[in-house]
Amino acid sequence: MKPAAAGVAFMAVAAVPLSVAGAGPWSGAGAGLPLVIAHRGASRYAPENTLAAVDAAYRRGFLWVENDVQRTKDGQLVVLHDTTLRRTTDVERVFPGRAPWRVRDFTAAEIARLDAGSWFGPRFAGERVPTLAAYLSRLDHNGQRLLLEIKSPRVYPGIEADLVGELRRRGWLDRTHTGSRLVVQSFCVRCVKAVHELAPQVRTGILGSPPVAGLTRFARFVDEINPRMSALSSRWIAAVHRLRGPHGRPLEVYAWDVGKNTGAREARDRGIEGVIA
């Protein structure tokens, strides 16, 4: 099933803040306006990184969502931003003696007991921390696409192989997904390179804004370089676009930490392909 608004062009929302704009196809949006990726799902409308946030993005026409993946004590992959469970779940109440409540210290079954929605609002009470498997299933059901961040990989040695294995088991390494529905990114250059080596068909991205002089080495294994919006300069963007990635296409730029009042036309005028907002 495809989102009803999946083909919405940005022309109609150009004056609207990017964080509430609809989403367009992978190749770009109408009138040359940039793609908008829902940060942690539609996290302004539902608790971040939950299935409710995926569905909220779907209802608002976001074709792409971004998430964060970590690993439990027993080796399961879950979708959560912080390395601890404290901010977005009721872990302190359910497991009061387990401070500092790190994700890596809890099994998947223990995490499944936690309420990951009440902190955001009472109508989301009982929302759970999703496993990556459940998250991918929901995206497939909705016809959505995924920008997946490997979160804090140094805390989880070997998570790159675990991730690639899970993507393979869930059917996300076929041509349909790797061609237009999946990008894996991280701040960790070594980890992104490892993903590329394990699954070279997967599009990958580096988070941050490395110096122009060092960009060439990344083009061997990344398709995107994704900086803070405030770190962008015309010279840097042009240098990125001059390079071609491992799949033969020019490197792209997807900016994050976008100001609430930034419009789609402003982002386009800066020469970037999209924003994570």
Residues with catalytic roles: 39, 81
Rounded to 10 degrees, the C-alpha dihedral 52/24/28/269 comes to -90
Residue 67: its H or E element: strand 64-71
Give Cβ neighbours of residue 243 (< 8 Å, ≥ 6 apart).
215, 216, 218, 219, 250, 251
Give Cβ neighbours of residue 162 (< 8 Å, ≥ 6 apart).
71, 75, 77, 156
Pairing label, strands 35-38, 77-79: unpaired
What are the distances in angstroms from CA 56 to CA 14, 50, 80? 21, 10, 17
Count of CB atoms situated within 10 Å of the CB of 99: 12
Q: What are phi and psi of 229, to 5 degrees?
A: -60, -40
Task: Tell me how far apart the alpha carbons of residues 186 and 208 are, in angstroms, rounded to a whole number.
Answer: 9
Give Cβ neighbours of residue 100 (< 8 Å, ≥ 6 apart).
84, 86
Task: Tell me how far apart the alpha carbons of residues 20 and 235 are, in angstroms, rounded to a whole number.
Answer: 29
CA 80 to chain CA mean position, Å: 11
Residue 239: its H or E element: helix 234-241
